[in-house]
Amino acid sequence: MKQTRKPELAVIGAGPAGLGAALAATEAGLKDVMLIERDIELGGILPQCIHDGFGSIVFKEVLTGPQYAQRYIDEVERANIDVLLNTMVLDMGADRRITAVNATDGIIEIEPRSVVLAMGCRERTRHQILIPGFRPAGVIMAGAAQRDINIEGLMPGRKMVILGSGDIGLIMARRFTLEGAEVEGVYEIMDHPGGLTRNVVQCLNDFDIPLHLSHGATFIHGRKRVEAVSVAAVDENLKPIKETERLVECDTLVLSVGLIPENELSKRAGIALDQATNGPFVDERMETSIDGIFACGNVVNVFDLVDYVTHSAETAGRGAAEYVLEGRKREKPVKVTPGRNVFYVVPQYVSDIGRDIDFYFRVQHPERAVRTRILVGGEPIESKKHRMVRPPEMIKQGTKPADFAGKRAVSEITVEVVPGEE
Ligand SMILES: Cc1cc2nc3c(=O)[nH]c(=O)nc-3n(C[C@H](O)[C@H](O)[C@H](O)COP(=O)(O)OP(=O)(O)OC[C@H]3O[C@@H](n4cnc5c(N)ncnc54)[C@H](O)[C@@H]3O)c2cc1C
């Protein structure tokens, strides 16, 4: 028989974002929080990330993914949170009604007073980057390969070519090497690495794995199994330069060509999405365009550090609690505009300048000796200097209510990068 549940808050997805949001909402006073996860365990992507590098900001410690997740899982188990595992959310309406399914309860209708979206992101596939060639076995996404090795105990191949230098590809280059496979090289179409500098150093340089910048794959060879990949340098328009094309023998092509926020449910509910982030527009409380629906973590934009995922989740969880307990209505939001050399900014709107606000943004291109500034009506209210800014490295910069002193009629906020450290 179909069940109907009416919690104060339903959190969809139990990665670090969902865990953090559910806990923050409970700490802020909600008594009836439901956490829904389609997987058999809590933690999202973290159980398969057995390398270290998690938690340096939140815990001031270097943890592995499973260690970081476990700290939140223990807290969730201690708190009075209703956890539904093996439960897939199939649909959500603009009225926040959720339809979920699992093998024990069948179809579950949920009518929560508030929702936090925390569905994470998914990997871009071969079909989204259109590499010509055959369709053999042995083309695999880096995150899927990571799951095969670290969770299932399966080795996807013996001689790898990695396409794309995002963090997952870099981490997997080291992992394959440690497991005895040969990594011929990492090929990156852009003229700069897609991942964090620390991962280029620790995962490629330390293992003598070559990184070929401004290079792409032009053909996948092999009928049943990958036998080789053609690679070539690209020109300034990212078009392959024919004379540079060469054949690289391999049995596996690993793709690390980007992540896309998982927003099928957001689209079904009619939530407004930002084309730059592929995630929902949110305000400083991480509230989407629909009242009472909040979002956090990689569903909003792809964060490179889990610590920032947790920060965004705590903001969303507290926002949902405030919405339910205080019935708060939003003021007319002010648009946050990306200025010079800023690709996107989250949040994209600010409704309440009377609280601490964290802005997360990425630059369009690398630049040395700069300042990042937050401006109101063209006047800087916050400024920070950087020796170097790069697109893969997200910048977090905050404002306090005092920064807006004397600026009550705020109609536009801009975030920009300007040359000069002083
Ligand atoms: C390979 C890799 C290496 C990384 N390395 C580092 C690192 O060294 N340091 C660092 O700080 N960060 C690292 N990160 C980043 C960090 O792990 C992520 O930013 C973080 O896990 C994102 O958290 P999330 O909760 O938003 O998403 P996820 O962890 O992806 O969790 C989303 C959850 O939502 C569930 N879900 C989705 N849709 C539904 C639905 N319809 N119904 C029910 N459940 C649903 C999913 O099953 C999943 O459990 C790495 C990430 C990856 C992928």
Closest ligand 1 atom to residue 302 Cα is 19
Mutate to test the pocket of ligand 1, among 306, 314, 360 (most ligand atoms within 8 A of CB): 306
Please list, in sequence order, all residues whose beta carbon lies within 8 angstroms of the beta carbon of residue 205, skipping any fewer than 6 positions away.
none
- The DSSP-derived string for 356-377 is -EEEEEEESS-EEEEEEEEEET
- What's the pLDDT score for residue 354? 86
Question: Is the separation of the CB atoms in 120 and 65 below 8 Å?
Answer: no
- 3-state secondary structure at position 96: coil
- What's the pLDDT score for residue 421? 61
Residue 95: both structure tokens together = 């009225």
State which residues of the chain have pLDDT below 70. Answer: 1, 408, 421-422
- 3-state secondary structure at position 263: coil
Supply the angle between the helices 65-78 and 306-326 in degrees, to the nearest 10: 20
Q: What is the pLDDT of residues 25-37, one digit of tens each?
A: 999 999 999 999 9
- Tell me if the domain spanning 9-122+260-330 has CATH number 3.10.180.10: no
Supply the angle between the helices 16-27 and 65-78 in degrees, to the nearest 10: 30
Which residue shows structure tokens 């969880």?
317
What's the gap in Å between 16 CA and the centre of ligand 1? 7
- 3-state secondary structure at position 298: helix
Whether ligand 1 lies within 6 angstroms of the CB of 338 is answered as no
Distance of CA 274 to the CA centre of its chain: 14
Residue 313: both structure tokens together = 């989740």
9-122+260-330 and 125-257 agree in CATH topology: yes
Whether ligand 1 lies within 6 angstroms of the CB of 306 is answered as yes
Mutate to test the pocket of ligand 1, among 41, 119, 312 (most ligand atoms within 8 A of CB): 119
What's the gap in Å between 245 CA and the centre of ligand 1? 36
Mutate to test the pocket of ligand 1, among 23, 35, 45 (most ligand atoms within 8 A of CB): 45
Q: Among 54, 179, 32, which residue's Cα sits nearest to residue 112?
A: 32
Q: Among 118, 116, 108, 112, which residue's Cα sits nearest to residue 87?
A: 108
Q: What is the pLDDT of residues 329-358, one digit of tens each?
A: 787 889 999 999 999 999 999 998 888 999
Distance of CA 34 to the CA centre of its chain: 23
Question: Is the separation of the CB atoms in 344 and 360 below 8 Å?
Answer: no
Distance (Å, whole) CA 116 – CA 141: 28
What's the gap in Å between 370 CA and the centre of ligand 1? 31
Distance (Å, whole) CA 92 – CA 270: 9
- The DSSP-derived string for 122-182 is EE--HHHHT--B---B-EEEHHHHHHIIIII-----SEEEEE--SHHHHHHHHHHHHTT-E
What's the gap in Å between 206 CA and the centre of ligand 1? 26
- What's the pLDDT score for residue 328? 76
Q: For the chain, how long is the longest CA-to-CA vector?
A: 68
Whether ligand 1 lies within 6 angstroms of the CB of 251 is answered as no
- Tell me if the domain spanning 125-257 has CATH number 3.30.260.10: no
Distance (Å, whole) CA 228 – CA 252: 8
Closest ligand 1 atom to residue 44 Cα is 49
What's the gap in Å between 121 CA and the centre of ligand 1? 7
Closest ligand 1 atom to residue 143 Cα is 1
Global pTM exceeds 0.75? yes
What's the gap in Å between 160 CA and the centre of ligand 1? 25
Distance (Å, whole) CA 62 – CA 395: 20
- The DSSP-derived string for 264-283 is HHHHHHT--B-TTTSSB---
Question: Is the separation of the CB atoms in 351 and 331 below 8 Å?
Answer: yes
Please list, in sequence order, all residues whose beta carbon lies within 8 angstroms of the beta carbon of residue 327, skipping any fewer than 6 positions away.
none
Closest ligand 1 atom to residue 265 Cα is 41
- What's the pLDDT score for residue 408? 63
Distance (Å, whole) CA 386 – CA 191: 21
**Residue 23: which H helix or E strand, with range?**
helix 16-27
- What's the pLDDT score for residue 406? 76
Whether ligand 1 lies within 6 angstroms of the CB of 110 is answered as no
- 3-state secondary structure at position 217: strand
10 Å CB burial of residue 202 (0-12, 13-18, 19+) is: middle
What's the gap in Å between 382 CA and the centre of ligand 1? 31
Strands (E) across 65-117 are located at 81-84, 88-92, 98-102, 106-110, 114-117
Domain boundaries, given as residue ranges, for the chain: 9-122+260-330, 125-257, 348-419
Other CB atoms within 10 A of residue 205 CB: 11
